Structure 1
Amino acid sequence: MPSPAIDIALDVSCAAENPLTGIGYATLYQLRALFTRDDPELRFHLFAAGARGGRATLEKEIGDARSLSYVPYARLAKYYAWTTLNWPPIEWFTGPARIAHNFCHQAPATSGAIKLVTVHDLSMFRHPETHTPRMVHVQQTLLRHTAKYADHIVAVSEHCKSELIELLRIPPDRIHVIHNGVNTGEFDVALDARRLNELRQAHRIEDDYIIHLGTIEPRKNLVRLCEAYRQLRASKSGIPKLVIVGATGWGSAPSIAAIESLGSSVVRPGYLSRADAVLLLRGARVCVYPSLYEGFGLPVLEAMAARTPVITSNASALPEVAGDTAVYVDPLDSASIAGAIAGVLEDPAAAASRVAAGRARAETFSWAASAEKLASLYKTLAN
């Protein structure tokens, strides 16, 4: 007789946010790939505590065939209950489980299940100035609690693993590196030229443009990007417009002031749907992502998949993702950023070579491979 399936409780609260940003999207894509495997050895039970409408988001994105226990308006309550009381156990909501996996930083309370937690970055320790004081307190509390109570941790990069070892003194044998991925096929469908033209017309974007994707917040380093862009336009003619795509986050005032100081040469369309953001990424001359710190750097990988040249920081996990396919800059030096942009714009042959290498590298980071490694980890831990 076949062995009974392993019951796994998944806390997917981070995928019930609105709007979805990096961690939420990463969780959704990993869930889709995990469920696509349709593995008879694994049986999943989903739990989420989130905002009103979060259940609809999850059911739309991953289908309603999976069991989902959804508690609205309860994310903060879950945070306080699990970090201070280690209660209530997630099994109250999901039923019995051998493993309980939280996809974003918090060790779940359990009544016996193995506790597994995915950690995406430690920016709240390395760069607390780029978060609100409240967020620093919440995230540091979560991660210290996870360091103490989680049985095992998934790190999204080798860099993230090294940070967990150094900053939280977590033994290496408790940490398992499973990279995020990308669906390269999403960037291979026939380009919707009509929709791309509509976007360009709606936001006054010319055919040639430079793009940045990411929430407008201090960690994304947009003040220095804007200063680099100002230097570039002052020294050279014919520089394409800069398009900054993303929701407005905390501490955005300096970034927005820097953007607005550049007038009509910078376009800020705000938060776009996934499909529209992908279209603009595919149509860009170059993607510039000079972030101060990333635990992975999904926009860089997606630009590589989109066959768009990448300029990014020589810091944190970004070189691990892009390898030798990107142009690297010192994120603290606006002249370094300006010089890199000029280099890519002025040498299309070198840019094309990097594009080909970037696409080939992106194909080694698939969500299917990520899900395969995660499923293997579940089985190893359960046995």
Structure 2
Amino acid sequence: MPELVVLTEQLLAPVPGGTGRYTRELVTALAATAPHDWTVAGVTATHKDLSPAVVTGVAGPRALPLGRRGLTALWERGVHLWPGGDAVHAPTPLAPPSPRRGRSLIVTVHDLVPFTHPETLTRRGAAWHQGAIQRAAARANAIVVPTVAVAEDLHRYAPGPATVAVVGHGVPDALLADVAPAQLHATAVGLGLPDTYVLAVGTVEPRKGLDVLVEAMALPYAPDLPLVVVGPRGWGEVDLAALAKRHGLADGRLHLLGRISDADLNVVLRRAAVLAAPSRAEGFGLPVLEAMAVGVPVVHSDVPALVEVAGGAGVGVRAGDAKALAAGLRAVLDDPASTARRVVDGRSRAEAFTWSHAATELWRLHTRFFEMASVK
């Protein structure tokens, strides 16, 4: 039986972030929708503990004979260490430099931020991602991107012969599950949640624009609500508590929850008055989709990918503009009739995005390119 190997290394990263969520949801869906004659396995670099990369229904994880740093350096230098399998899917640009003869390789490129906004990454991180994306575009069979906006950026900054396919993300089942009132209350008490609030979800790092959100919430015409932020600390030393103090956000209005489970996020989302997505750059914007799916109104920055994903169901404001963001949040709360229409449109929009659909589209690509490689 042919085997699809998915590189699940991102599940073992110190801060898996949105690409970690993508990896876990996608490999789960790939295993659930696999053609009857295919198997799916996860492969990582060598780590002391591989348990975070265990995925139900997926074989492995199998560890390659190098740690993450060594594996990254090897592939960066063009060494053809194949991770096994007949077809390989790399959910991030960490990928073999090219497929082996008779094998196929597809790489997901989530965004072109290393080219368009390199200042929002470390210098080393931006340079590595630029090179990895260029190699993938030149040598992989196909590149998968989550939005048309990213496809356009790819053609502009890293053109290559690889086929480019737009395949959106989905909403985890855990966020769509109904929650009993008693459980809603118990989780809210356990997390110390206010009654209602403005919510932001994302890794706390410069690209996410959370500094702008804190500034916006301190303005006199911003919603008089607490701000709840869900997500782990990333790079860049973005200290939201210090920013709140600097901008005069009243004590007790900022709640930092850090990383939480999907079950808890389900509750946190449903209790929010509005989701704020103030990113300076994005390739997709999972929190926007997830909020719309559960009926939470969204205010997002005007970066192209967020505008595309929201599909007109959100309120768009200029990226980096705290005054515009505060006004957008206030407008959502002050105009319940318009907001109710946007919520209905958002739910309808979100229904078009499922992990099952994403996996089905990827299987079409993998089986097509594997068959092509097999006859060469």
Q: Same fold (TM over 0.5)?
A: yes
Distance in 2, Cα, partners of 1:52 & 1:331: 41
Q: What TM-score do you get using the length of structure 1 for normalisation?
A: 0.89
> For 1:102-160, what per-residue CA distance to the aligned partner results, in whole angstroms no more than 9, with x for missing partners?
11013315432222211111111111111112211221222222233223211111111
Paired position in structure 1 for 2:129: 139
C-alpha deviation, 1:164, in angstroms: 0.8
Q: Does the CA contact (< 8 Å) of 2:204 and 2:238 recur in 1?
A: no
Q: Does the CA contact (< 8 Å) of 1:209 and 1:284 recur in 2?
A: yes
Unpaired segments ≥5 residues, structure 1? none
Paired position in structure 2 for 1:127: 117
1:62 is the counterpart of 2:62 = no
Q: What TM-score do you get using the length of structure 2 for normalisation?
A: 0.90
Unpaired segments ≥5 residues, structure 2? 372-376
Q: Does the CA contact (< 8 Å) of 1:107 and 1:150 recur in 2?
A: no
SS of the aligned residue for 1:244 comes to: strand
Deviates further, 301-310 or 101-110: 101-110
2:170 maps to which of 160, 178, 181: 181
The alpha-carbon distance between structure 1 residues 62 and 195, as it changes in their structure 2 partners (threshold 3 A), is same
The alpha-carbon distance between structure 1 residues 81 and 283, as it changes in their structure 2 partners (threshold 3 A), is same
Paired position in structure 1 for 2:253: 265
Distance in 2, Cα, partners of 1:107 & 1:269: 33
1:78 is the counterpart of 2:71 = yes
1:318 maps to which of 262, 282, 306: 306
Q: CA RMSD in A?
A: 2.1
> For 1:211-249, what per-residue CA distance to the aligned partner results, in whole angstroms no more than 9, with x for missing partners?
000011101111211111111xx236x711111111111
SS of the aligned residue for 1:264 comes to: coil
C-alpha deviation, 1:174, in angstroms: 1.6
Q: Does the CA contact (< 8 Å) of 1:187 and 1:282 recur in 2?
A: no
The one-letter code matched in structure 2 to 1:164 is: L
Q: Does the CA contact (< 8 Å) of 1:101 and 1:116 recur in 2?
A: yes
Distance in 1, Cα, partners of 2:95 & 2:177: 39
Deviates further, 24-33 or 11-20: 11-20
1:329 is the counterpart of 2:317 = yes
Paired position in structure 1 for 2:195: 207
SS of the aligned residue for 2:307 comes to: helix
1:153 is the counterpart of 2:143 = yes
Distance in 1, Cα, partners of 2:133 & 2:232: 25
C-alpha deviation, 1:195, in angstroms: 4.3
C-alpha deviation, 1:252, in angstroms: 2.9
The one-letter code matched in structure 1 to 2:83 is: I
Distance in 2, Cα, partners of 1:66 & 1:203: 35
The one-letter code matched in structure 1 to 2:17 is: T
C-alpha deviation, 1:50, in angstroms: 5.8
C-alpha deviation, 1:254, in angstroms: 5.0
Paired position in structure 2 for 1:46: 42
The alpha-carbon distance between structure 1 residues 286 and 50, as it changes in their structure 2 partners (threshold 3 A), is farther
Q: Does the CA contact (< 8 Å) of 1:6 and 1:43 recur in 2?
A: yes
Number of residue pairs matched?
366
C-alpha deviation, 1:335, in angstroms: 1.2
SS of the aligned residue for 2:131 comes to: helix
2:210 maps to which of 209, 222, 226: 222
The one-letter code matched in structure 2 to 1:253 is: V
Paired position in structure 2 for 1:11: 7
2:230 maps to which of 229, 245, 249: 245
Distance in 2, Cα, partners of 1:251 & 1:243: 20
Q: Does the CA contact (< 8 Å) of 2:216 and 2:323 recur in 1?
A: yes
Q: Does the CA contact (< 8 Å) of 1:211 and 1:286 recur in 2?
A: yes
Paired position in structure 2 for 1:33: 29
Q: Which has the higher helix share?
A: 1
The alpha-carbon distance between structure 1 residues 266 and 56, as it changes in their structure 2 partners (threshold 3 A), is same
SS of the aligned residue for 1:235 comes to: coil
Distance in 1, Cα, partners of 2:62 & 2:293: 35
